[in-house]
With several copies, the nearest count.
Chain A
Amino acid sequence: MDLTVSDLTIARGGVPVLAGLGFVLEPGHALILRGPNGIGKTTLLRTIAGLQPPVSGRVTGAEDRIAYAAHADGIKPTLSVAENLRFWARVFGAGGIQPALEAFDLTGLSGRPAGSLSAGQKRRLGLARLLVTGRPVWVLDEPTVSLDTRAVAMFADAIRAHLAWGGSALIATHIDLGLEAEVLDVSPFRADLAQAAGADAFDEAFG
C-alpha cells in the first residue's frame, strides 16, 4: 500500500508553512526530504505521522502503518538499553529485540542504563527502536544526527534491508546518507502567505 500525500497544506503555530505539497511513496522506496532550516520538514513529518491535523489536503495509507522517529528518542535514562527496546517491542506487539540490537551494534551495551550512553549511542538506540515496531513506513526526522561514519553506514544498511523487505522510508535530512533514493526538495512548496490567508479558519473571516 502506498503512502499518498496530496495537495497538503500544513501550518505551524497558526501560520501556514508548506502548501500544495504532494507525493507518493511506494513500498520498497525511500524518499529524502530536503530544504533549508525552518521550511517545515518537521511539521510535515508530524502531520504525516498523524500527530497534528493538516490545514487542507489528504494523507492516505498512513493510519497505523507509521513508525515515527523525531529529534527526541523517547529513551528512559534509568532503564537499560535492552529494557528500553523491549518495551517498544511489546507495545508494538512485534518480535524479539536481538536483531535490532545487532543491527546497530548495541549488543555490548544492552545492559547499560540508557542515560549513560554517549550522544551517538543514544541515537543508535533510538534508531534500533524502528526495527522492533514492525511498521512498514518509517518517518524519520534527521536520523543521523550525532552518528559517526560507521553508524551512518549501519543506518543505511538498516534502511536498505527495510526497503528490500517491502517497507518504505521518508527521511528529512541535511546531510548525505549514502542512500540511493529519490530526493524531494520542499522549498518550492513554501506557503505563499498572501495567497494562503485562508489557512486559518479564523482569519478567513477578515478576508
Chain B
Amino acid sequence: MIALLLRDLRLAVRAGGGFGLGLAFFLIVTVMVPLAVGPQPALLASIAPGVLWLGALLACLLSLDRLLALDWEDGSLDLLATAPLPLEAVVTIKALAHWITTGLPLVLAAPALGVLLNLPGPGYLWLVISLAAGTPALSVIGTFGAALTVGLKRGGLLLSLLVLPLYVPTLIFGAEVARRGAVGMDTATPLLMLVGISAGALALLPFASAAVLRVNLR
C-alpha cells in the first residue's frame, strides 16, 4: 500500500510536476476571473470566496482523468487487480495520492490567491479551513468518477459531466463556509455538513469505486 502511494507520488513529481500544475491551473483561473468580469474591487471581494472554491474544484477535476486512465492504458491496473492488494485499498490510495498532489497544495496556496481577489480579512482563515475540510471529498468523489469512466476513450469530458453534479453539495457547503467566514457570520452548520460529507464519502465511496472498477476491468 505504501509502495503504491510512493509510486504515485513519485510519478506525479516526475511527470512534469504534478504538484505544480494543479496549483498553476488554480492560479490561472483565479487570474482570469478579473479579466473576464472586470476589475471592480468591491465586486471581486464579494465573489472571491466562491471563485476560489470553484477554481479549486476545477483544478481538482482537471487532473482526475489521468488518475486511473494511465494505469489502465499501460496495463498496470490489470496487474494491480491480480496483486495481493484489495481493490478498495488501491482506489483509496489513489485518492489519497491525488489529494496530496492536488488538494493539499491548493489549500496551502489559497490565501495567496485570495489577495488577488481582494478577499476580506477574516476570510483567509475560513477559506483554508473549508478547503482543508472539503478537498478530500473532492478527491474521493473524483476517484469514483474516474473509476466509472476508466475504460472509455475520451472519458475525460464524460468524467466531468458525471462528477460535477456530485460535487454540488461539497461546493455549496464549502463556499458557504468561506463566504460566511469572510463576512464574519456563523460557520458552524455548513462546516459540520462539509466535514460530514467528507467523512461519509471517505468511508463509503471507495467500495463503490472498487466495485465499478472491477466491472470495468472485465
Residues of A within 8 A of B (CB): 49-53, 64, 66-68, 70-79, 83, 87-88, 90-93, 129, 133
Indicate with 1 or 0, residue by residue over B83-101, a CB within 8 angstroms of chain A CB atoms. 1110000000000000000
Q: Chain A's nearest CB lies how many Å from the CB of B4?
A: 7
Question: How many residues of chain B get a CB closer than 8 Å to chain A's CBs?
Answer: 24
Q: Chain B's nearest CB lies how many Å from the CB of A12?
A: 10
Tell which of A51, A71, A79 touches B81, judged by Cβ atoms closer than 8 Å. A51
**Interface centre among A50, A68, A71, A78, by most B CB within 10 Å?**
A78
Please state if A72 and B11 are interface contacts (CB–CB under 8 Å).
no
Q: Which residues of B contact A78 (CB under 8 A)?
A: 11, 14-15, 153
Residues of B within 8 A of A (CB): 2-4, 7, 10-11, 14-15, 71, 73-76, 78-85, 153, 217-218
Q: How many A-B residue pairs have CB under 8 A?
A: 69
Please state if B7 and A64 are interface contacts (CB–CB under 8 Å).
no
On whether A72 and B75 interact (CB within 8 A), knowing A49-B82, A66-B82, the answer reads: yes
Tell which of B15, B76, B153 touches A74, judged by Cβ atoms closer than 8 Å. B76
Q: Chain B's nearest CB lies how many Å from the CB of A135?
A: 9
A93, B75: Cα distance in complex, Å = 20
A133, B79: Cα distance in complex, Å = 11
Q: Chain B's nearest CB lies how many Å from the CB of A67?
A: 7
Please state if A74 and B75 are interface contacts (CB–CB under 8 Å).
yes
User: 14 extra interchain contacts, Cβ-Cβ under 8 A, other than A76-B76, A79-B14, A90-B3?
Assistant: A49-B78, A50-B82, A51-B82, A68-B79, A70-B79, A71-B75, A72-B73, A74-B71, A74-B76, A76-B11, A79-B7, A83-B10, A88-B79, A91-B4
